[in-house]
Amino acid sequence: MHIDSPQYGTIRQFQRSDIERVLEIAGHSLTEYYTSSLIFDLFDSWPDGFSVYSVGGDIVAFMIGARNTPNEARILMFAVDEPFRRQGIGERLMRDFVEYCSRNGFISLKLEVKTDNESAINFYKKFGFVITSRLRAYYSDASDAFTMWKII
Ligand code: ACO
């Protein structure tokens, strides 16, 4: 079934009962360690910024945004479970988030990504993000981040 088929999957807002699956995908896909209390804090501070993508009732991807300033949103955590990558699910989540931000008065988006994460950097470039700076020893393993930024 194709990603564009309505039967394939749906985007919806995170619910507290999704936490285990979100932590599982984060644990497999992201290199930093995240706790449920941090995830709940992020959700409580901006529920509309936290989306999940589910296929057949199972969550396979999520994106957590935050309000950086009144005009700028930030993508804090974003991952698609490995077997579901390269099917357009990341694109669906990104387009949905950009549309929401655009409708709600944000003018730019910002994020940090590991400098060696070529697939994510390519993904973000496809959506018009540009690298604006390098942050030395940004991650807990002392690796560097690129800051990426986009006008919406
Ligand atoms: N290599 C090169 N380009 C890629 C790749 C890749 N591995 N993956 C995606 N792209 C680009 C392509 O242009 C692709 O279009 P195409 O398939 O028609 O060529 C386009 O992005 C859209 O791809 P999607 O299928 O929508 O992307 P996907 O659903 O796989 O999600 C994501 C992309 C979220 C980066 C996924 O690879 C992932 O979960 N990676 C591991 C976790 C991660 O690195 N998250 C980002 C960390 S930074 C942060 O959280 C702020």
111-151 pLDDT, tens digit per residue, is 999 999 999 999 999 999 999 999 999 999 999 999 999 99
Q: Is the CB of 17 under 6 A from ligand 1?
A: no
β-sheet bridge partners, residue 13: 51
Q: What angle do CA 30, 87, 102 make, to 5 degrees?
A: 75
Euclidean distance between CA atoms 47 and 34, whole angstroms: 18
CB atoms closer than 10 angstroms to residue 85: 16
Structure pTM? 0.95
> Using a 6 Å cutoff on CB, does residue 55 contact ligand 1?
no
Q: Whose CA is nearest to atom 14 of ligand 1?
A: 123
Q: Which atom of ligand 1 is nearest to the CA of 78?
A: 50
pLDDT above 80 (res 91): yes
Question: Is the CB of residue 91 below 6 angstroms from any atom belonging to ligand 1?
Answer: yes
How far is the C-alpha of 51 from the C-alpha of 8, rounded, in Å?
17
Q: Is the CB of 78 under 6 A from ligand 1?
A: yes
Task: Determine contact, residues 93/128, Cβ cutoff 8 Å.
Answer: no
Exposed/middle/buried for 92, CB within 10 Å: 0-12, 13-18, 19+?
Answer: buried
Q: Is the CB of 96 under 6 A from ligand 1?
A: no
How much is the pLDDT for 30? Answer: 96
User: From the alpha carbon of 120, which atom of ligand 1 is closest?
Assistant: 35
pLDDT of the residue at 8: 81
**Residue among 30, 52, 27 nearest 113 (CA):** 30
pLDDT tens profile 2-54: 565 655 899 999 999 999 999 999 999 999 999 999 999 999 999 999 999 99
Q: Is the dihedral of CA 15, 20, 21, 26 positive or negative?
A: positive
DSSP code, position 89: H
